[in-house]
Amino acid sequence: MKLRRTLQGGSAWFLVGAFFFGCELIAAQNDGAPLVYPTAKTIDQVDDYHGVKVADPYRWLEDTDSADTKAWVEAENKLTFGYLEKIPYRSAIRDRMTKLWNYERFTTPVQEGGRYFYQHNNGLQNQNVLLVADSLSAEPRVLLDPNTLSADGTVALSGTAITDDGKLLAYGTAASGSDWQEWHVRDVDAGKDLPDVIKWVKFSGASWSKDGKGFFYSRFDEPKKDAATLRDVNYFQKLYYHSVGTPQSEDKLIYDRPDNKELEFGGSVTDDGQYLVIRVSQGTSPKNRLYYEDLTQPDSPVVKLLDDFDAKYNFIDNDGPVFWLATDLDAPRGKVIAIDTRHPERANWKTIVPQSVDKLDAANVVDNVFLLSYLKDAKTEVRVFDLNGKLLRGVDLPGIGTAAGFGGKRTDKETFYAFTSFISPTTIYRYDPEAGKSSVFRAPKVDFDASLYETKQVFYNSKDGTRVPMFLTYKKGIKLDGQNPTLLYAYGGFDISLTPAFSIPTIVWLEMGGVYAQPNLRGGGEYGEEWHLAGTKSHKQNVFDDFIAAAGWLIANKYTCPAKLAIRGGSNGGLLVGAVETQRPDLFGATLPLVGVMDMLRFQKFTIGWAWTSDYGSSDNADDFKWLYAYSPLQNLKPGTKYPPTLIATADHDDRVVPGHSFKFTATMQADQAGPAPVLIRIETKAGHGGGKPISKIIDETADEWAFVAYNLGMNVKLE
Q: What CATH number does residue 50 fall under? A: 3.40.50.1820
Same structural domain for residues 674 and 587?
Answer: yes
Query: What pLDDT was estimated at residue 653?
Result: 67
d(CA 526, CA 490): 13
Same structural domain for residues 370 and 482?
Answer: no
Same structural domain for residues 474 and 381?
Answer: no
- What pTM did the predictor assign? 0.90
Kindly state whether residue 603 falls inside one of the protein's structural domains. Answer: yes
Cα–Cα separations (whole angstroms), residue 578 to 68, 469, 492: 25, 22, 13
Kindly state whether residue 65 falls inside one of the protein's structural domains. Answer: yes
3-state secondary structure 486-518: EEEECCCCCCCCCCCCCCHHHHHHHHCCCEEEE
d(CA 591, CA 13): 22
| Strand-strand pairing, 679-684 and 646-651 | parallel
Q: Say how many domains are in the chain.
A: 2
d(CA 156, CA 144): 11
Kindly state whether residue 405 falls inside one of the protein's structural domains. Answer: yes
Same structural domain for residues 601 and 526?
Answer: yes
Query: What pLDDT was estimated at residue 686?
Result: 62
Same structural domain for residues 437 and 453?
Answer: no
3-state secondary structure 183-237: EEEEECCCCEEEEEEEEEECCCCEEECCCCCEEEEEECCCCCCHHHCCCCCCCCC
Query: What pLDDT was estimated at residue 156?
Result: 85
Same structural domain for residues 520 and 597?
Answer: yes
**SS3 category, 480:** coil
Phi first, then psi: what are they for 612, rounded to 5°? -80, -5
Residue in 635, 659, 660, 651 with CA at minimum distance from that of residue 691:
651
Kindly state whether residue 221 falls inside one of the protein's structural domains. Answer: no
Domain boundary among 445, 468, 492: 445
Same structural domain for residues 681 and 543?
Answer: yes
Domain boundary among 398, 427, 445: 445
Secondary structure percentages of the chain, helix, strand, coil, to 5: 20, 35, 45
Catalytic residues: 571, 689
Q: Which distant-in-sequence residues (6+ apart) come within 8 Å of 299 by Cβ?
A: none
Average confidence (pLDDT) per 10 residues, the chain, 720 residues: 28 29 48 84 98 98 93 96 97 96 96 97 92 96 94 87 97 85 96 96 93 96 68 86 97 96 95 97 91 95 97 97 98 98 97 98 98 98 98 95 97 97 96 97 94 97 98 98 98 96 97 98 97 98 98 98 98 97 98 97 90 94 98 98 98 80 97 98 72 82 97 91
Same structural domain for residues 514 and 616?
Answer: yes
208 forms beta bridges with: 215
Query: What pLDDT was estimated at residue 24?
Result: 54
Same structural domain for residues 565 and 582?
Answer: yes
Query: What pLDDT was estimated at residue 690?
Result: 54
Kindly state whether residue 334 falls inside one of the protein's structural domains. Answer: no
Kindly state whether residue 643 falls inside one of the protein's structural domains. Answer: yes
Query: What pLDDT was estimated at residue 175?
Result: 84
369 lies in which domain range? 359-445
Kindly state whether residue 611 falls inside one of the protein's structural domains. Answer: yes
**Residue type for position 652:** D
Greatest Cα pair distance in the chain: 77
Same structural domain for residues 433 and 528?
Answer: no
What string of DSSP letters covers 558-625? TS--GGGEEEEEETHHHHHHHHHHHH-TTS-SEEEEES----TTTGGGSTTGGGGHHHH--TTSHHHH
**SS3 category, 670:** helix
Domain boundary among 403, 421, 445: 445
Residue in 618, 601, 716 with CA at minimum distance from that of residue 55:
601
Query: What pLDDT was estimated at residue 692?
Result: 61
Kindly state whether residue 215 falls inside one of the protein's structural domains. Answer: no
Same structural domain for residues 464 and 604?
Answer: yes
Same structural domain for residues 580 and 631?
Answer: yes
